[in-house]
Structure 1
Amino acid sequence: MNWSWIPRNLDRVAELTVQHLWLALLPVLLGLIVALPLAWLATRARVIRTVLITVTGLLYTVPSLALIVMLPLVLGIGILNPLNVVVALTIYTVALLVRSIADALDAVPQAVVAAATAMGYTPLRRFVAVELPLAVPVTVAGLRVAAVSNMSLVTVGAIVGLGGLGALFTDGFQRDIPAEILTGIVLVLVLALLVDVALLAIGRAVTPWTRAGAGARA
């Protein structure tokens, strides 16, 4: 295996790594922004919940390559526009998060909700100040799944020339450079692990009461 390829192409690898990160993580942020109000709506009425869960579930079953190829027709942009990957992965992120966040909100003890209502909290204030913080652990778990999934799915975009570390797969295969392919695989795995650990740390940081509860039980 020609390992000398790696030091000769460090600049390109670094550029593709940065591109891969923003193509994978921007949809996670956008998906969270979209999923939060949808999940809140899903908890308001059973009919709304059924419709939202069904629709988002169906969206997640659409093959990623087919969605990336189809989106330029819907958005009216070129197939090589990175926005295609961002929108496609945002859709998948929403599909993953709506159900998990809705389930987390439904799991909030009714006694807590009733107490907040009795204290004069409006539904919106109660959601932001009471229900959403209690749903953070499950929400972060959903974000971890979405982020790791996106790290893998971004590579599919390389088939239509949209970059990211997947470009190392296609280029390495076409030029028969195993070191390039292996570099791409390892970096995708490392990035997925680092992002997962980072989200886990963020989740623990914003939910100190979970650690306090675990300490009390011990």
Structure 2
Amino acid sequence: MLPTLRPQHAILAVIGLVVATAPAIVQATGLAQQLLGFRLEVQYLLVQHLRLVGSAAFFSIALGIPIGVWLSRKGMRRHAEVIMQVLNIGTTVPTLAKLAIAMLFFGIGTGSAVIGLTIAILMPIARNTCAGLLAVNPYLLDAARGMGMRDSQILWRVEFPNALNVIVTGVRIAVTYATGTAALAFLIGGGGLGELIFTGIDINEPAMMLAGAITTCLLAVLVDLLLYQIQYWVIPRGVNPYRPLRS
């Protein structure tokens, strides 16, 4: 039976393959110097890109987790799926369309881009929060009530710790998705690495386009790897499937 790679090992293998082969490919095609010529632009736009993603992640987490908690409460469970389908509109509508709609209401600029990205990644956080809380073993809840815990204590001391892995997975999916799609923010004046990609397409400059595209791809992979490492090490072994209990 063939051994299986853990997710972090697979990601590291892909990054290693890219790092190992990219110099030879780039030098063979004569693009090395051209790509390096855009390093200052990449550094400047990378900061803009990270600010966009960070702002969207902050607002989506601040909204998504409370919404998920609210929908997991007993009085709201029958309405949860209907509300989730409404939130799902933000996922099914193409990201570029969401950014365009945000631009219509809030004008051109970074603010519209952040709002559009927040709407785009709100759903996985809210759904995973709700699903994780609903999946907590009911026997644990009964035991907590038997110990005299109030509902708020049960939520913070029992439900949240047991649902944390599912919640963090939703955050990881959302932030990684936002990292890749934030390149579209340039089209509504939001800046970011998309400026290199779309400007390179407009003026038929492949090196400029590749400088933005390669950086965006690597950034998304690195963000996913970083969030996985946080998920792996921060969540306790008892509720972390990536870190099984030692025998």
TM, length-normalised to structure 2: 0.79
Q: How does 1:161-172 map to 2 (within 5 A)?
A: 161-172=189-200
Aligned match of 1:38: 67
Moved more, 34-43 or 119-128: 119-128
Residue from 86, 93, 96 that aligns with 1:62 = 93
* Cα distance between partner residues in 1 of 2:32 and 2:204: 13
Could you report, residue by residue, the CA deviation over 1:83-135 in whole angstroms, capped at 9, with x for unpaired residues? 11111111122112111221111111011112222223222222122211211
Q: CA deviation at 1:184?
A: 1.2
Q: Does 1:181 align with 2:209?
A: yes
The RMSD of aligned alpha carbons is 2.0
Alpha-carbon separation, structure 2, partners of 1:32 and 1:214: 27
1:91 to 114, 119, 138: 119
Q: CA shift at 1:211, angstroms?
A: 6.9
- 2:16 corresponds to: none
Q: Percent identity?
A: 29
1:170 Cα deviation from its structure 2 partner? 1.1
Deviation at 1:196, TM superposition (A): 0.7
Amino acid at match of 2:231: G
Task: Specify the code of the residue in structure 1 equivalent to 2:232.
Answer: R
Would you say the 8 A contact 1:2–1:178 is kept in 2? no
Note if 1:116 corresponds to 2:116.
no
Equivalent residue letter for 1:10: R
Tell me which amino acid in the other structure corresponds to 1:153.
Answer: T
1:157 aligns with 2:188: no
Amino acid corresponding to residue 13 of structure 1 in structure 2: V
Q: Which residue identity lines up with residue 55 of structure 1 in the other structure?
A: V
Is 1:214–2:232 an aligned residue pair? Answer: no
CA contact (8 A) 1:173 1:181 kept: yes
Q: CA offsets per residue over residues 45-64 of structure 1, 9 Å max, x none?
A: 33331232111112222222
CA distance in 2, matches of 1:70, 1:215: 48
Question: Distance between the aligned counterparts of 2:219 and 2:36, measured in 1?
Answer: 19
Matches of 1:70 and 1:124 in 2, distance apart?
A: 38
Q: Which runs of 5 or more residues in structure 1 are unaligned?
A: none
AA aligned opposite 2:41: R
Q: Which has the higher contact order (CA 8 A, sep 6+)?
A: 1
| Number of equivalenced pairs | 214
User: Aligned partners of 1:4 and 1:212: how far apart in 2?
Assistant: 42
Give the alignment partner of residue 12 of structure 1, picking from 7, 28, 41: 41
Q: CA offset at residue 2 of structure 1?
A: 4.8
Q: 1:59 to 1:167 in 2, by over 3 A?
A: same
CA change 1:31–1:2 in 2 (3 A) is same
Q: Distance in 2 between matches of 1:63 and 1:193?
A: 22
Normalising by structure 1, we get a TM-score of 0.89
Secondary structure of 2:246's counterpart equals helix
Q: Is the 8 A contact 2:182 2:192 kept in 1?
A: yes
Note if contact 2:61-2:122 (Cα within 8 Å) is conserved in structure 1. Answer: yes
